[in-house]
Amino acid sequence: MKDLKITNVRVVDLRFPTSREKIGSDAVNKDPDYSAAYCILETDVGLEGHGLTFTLGRGTELCVGALNYLSHVVRDRSLRSITDDFAGFVFFFDAGVALLFCCFFMTRSPFATSKLMPLSTC
């Protein structure tokens, strides 16, 4: 079989207005809108890969933004180039996501201007 090449990444922000009728609400989540960041990997042979991350509404835009930002890593890559060094591929994503959270935290932290946590570390 031909080695698949990922040609495109589509990201969809799905929202379900469950808060209107308090569906899924509890003591902590008073007005959840069940949501998902949905990702579709398209290939050059017509096959697709689908994945999603569920949220309660808050945070979905962060998941969508992260998927859009990181999509360049897989676009135009062969599946074999990913699976041949899958540990390296996963490590790259772990390090990238950790870096994104570090920078996000440090720009909003009261320590951001501190000499202990300079913004330049991101």
DSSP the chain: -PPPBEEEEEEEEEE--GGGGTTT--SS-SS---EEEEEEEEETTS-EEEEEEEESSTTHHHHHHHHHHHGGGTTT-BHHHHHTTHHHHHHHHHHHHHHHHHHHHHHHSTTTTSSSS-GGG-
Q: What is the pLDDT of residue 117?
A: 43
Q: What is the pLDDT of residue 120?
A: 43
Q: What is the pLDDT of residue 121?
A: 43
Q: pTM for the whole thing? A: 0.68
Domains of the chain: 6-20+30-121 (3.30.390.10)
Given a cut of 70, whether residue 73 has pLDDT beyond it is: yes
Q: What is the pLDDT of residue 109?
A: 46
Residues 54 and 36: their CA atoms lie apart, in Å, by 4
Residues 2 and 26: their CA atoms lie apart, in Å, by 50
> What are the two backbone dihedrals, phi and then psi, of residue 12, each rounded to the nearest 5 degrees?
-120, 135
